[in-house]
Amino acid sequence: MPDEPKVIATEAALELIEKLKAKYGPLMFHQSGGCCDGSSPMCYPLGELIVGDSDVLLGEIGGCPFYISKAQYEYWKHTQLIIDVVPGRGGMFSLEGPEGVRFLTRSRVFGQSADAGAT
């Protein structure tokens, strides 16, 4: 298993997380794989989304737990997720929606340089 964190956030994402924490209190993330929200990381007030045995705690970003479903983790276990922010509308249930931006997941294969092909 790599020593690198499985999930990290860009400076822009960390700034948005702090803004959302000031508005809503403690937060949590879940990497969506659903049909309605595509594959966006979803941001919720801490505890609003019930996680269970079918979810994996990938790590923390901005002091907030970040989960992914076990099935999705199996596909992405060799990659580092890089959470970023881009202009546009987020998932309809994600807290950043009213801000005019959305969280976006980029990834890189462990062992690949951070500059080499983050998608």
Domains and CATH numbers, the chain: 5-107 (2.60.300.12)
Place of tokens 């546009």: 88
**pLDDT tens-digit map of 36-75:** 545 689 999 999 999 999 999 999 999 999 999 998 999 8
**Residue 13 banded pLDDT, cuts 50, 70, 90:** very high
The sign one gets for the Cα dihedral 14, 30, 32, 117 is positive
Q: Has this prediction a pTM greater than 0.75?
A: yes
Select the more confidently predicted residue: 10 or 1: 10
DSSP for residue 50: P
Say how far apart CA 11 and CA 56 lie, in whole Å.
24
Single-letter amino acid, residue 60: E
Select the more confidently predicted residue: 32 or 109: 109
